[in-house]
Amino acid sequence: MPTASSIQLIPNAVSTGMEINHASLSTCGAATGTVVVIDVIRAFTTASYAFAAGASEILLVSTVEEALALRERDPSALIMGEVNGLPVEGFDFGNSPSALIGRDLAGRHLIQRTSAGTQGVVRSTRAEPLLASSFTCARATVRYLHRLSPPTITFVITGISPDWDGEEDMACAEYVAALLRGEAPDVAPYIKRVYESQAGRCLTDPAAPAYLRADLECCVATDLFDFAMVVERRDGLLVMQACRP
C-alpha cells in the first residue's frame, strides 16, 4: 500500500515516450513540467460538475480566508469547498458534486478551497502546464495531454496522507496512464478500487448521510465530461477553466 513518504517522483516509462511520475502533497512542489493533480473524492469531481453546470472559471485557493477575501473583491463569485470534509460557514456550496446536479451556474465565477485537491494545485508551484482531473474527465484529460505531447507527466496523488490510503486517486492516475499508453482498459477494476478505498468506504458507510453516497456515484461516473480542467496562473491567482481538446 503506498504511503505519503513512498510517493517520491518515481519515474515509469510508458510506450508513448512520455515518462510518468507520481508525487504526493508533500513532494509535488518539486515537480516540473506537466503536472496533473488528481482528487477523485471529491474536489475535482465537484469542480467538473460545476463546469458542466456552466461555471466559467474556478479560482483555486489554499485557505478559507483566501476564499472569503476573493469573494469580497468579487461579491458575485460563489465559494465551494470544505475543511476536513465538512461544509464551511459562509461558503455557498460544500464539496458535493451531487449538490450541483441541476444547478444553473452559467457564466458564474467560483472559488474552491479543499483539504487535498486545491492544496495539490497550490503546492505545485513549478508545474507548467498544470491540470486537475478525476474519473469524470479522464479521457478528455488524456486527449489534452496527447495534444501537448510532453516528455514527462507527474500525477499528484492528493489523497495520500498518514491517515488515508489515497487509493481512489492512484486508481485514477493509473487509469489515465493506461489510456495514455493507447490501451483500452476495463474501468471496472479501477472503480472497484475507488469503492474499496478508505475514502470510498467512508462515503458508503450506512451511517453516512445519503448525499455522500450520491456523491460517490458521481465520483465513479467515468469519462462523463468532454473537457479537461486546465489551471493558469493569472495575476497571482490560480484560475481553472474547462478546455475541450
pLDDT in tens, 113-153: 999 999 999 999 999 999 999 999 999 999 999 999 999 99
131 and 215 share one domain: yes
64 and 146 share one domain: no
Q: What does the buried/exposed string (b/e) look like for 155-192 if buried means 16 or more CB atoms within 10 Å of the residue's CB?
A: bbbbbbbeebbbbbbbbbbbbbbbbbeeeeeebeebbe
Residue of 189, 179, 184, 96 lying closest to 140 (CA atoms): 179
Q: Which domain covers residue 82, as residue numbers?
A: 43-117+228-243
Query: How far is the CA of 151 from the CAs of 164, 172, 244, in angstroms?
Result: 31, 20, 22
93 and 153 share one domain: no
Mean pLDDT of 50-69: 98
Q: What residue type is assigned to position 116 of the chain?
A: A
Residue 4 within any structural domain of the chain? no
C-beta of residue 93 within 8 angstroms of C-beta of residue 99: yes
pLDDT score at 8: 46
Residue 6 within any structural domain of the chain? no
33 and 130 share one domain: yes
pTM of the predicted model as reported, rounded to 2 decimal places: 0.93
Residue 2 within any structural domain of the chain? no
CATH of the domain at 233: 3.90.1560.10
Give CA angle at 92 (120, 50), nearest 5°. 60
Q: Which of 45-54, 70-79, 123-132, 202-211 has the lowest mean pLDDT?
A: 202-211
Q: Cα(37)–Cα(155) distance, rounded to whole angstroms?
A: 6
pLDDT above 50 (res 7): no
Q: Cα(110)–Cα(112) distance, rounded to whole angstroms?
A: 7
Largest CA distance in the chain: 48
| The total number of structural domains that make up the chain | 2
214 and 238 share one domain: no
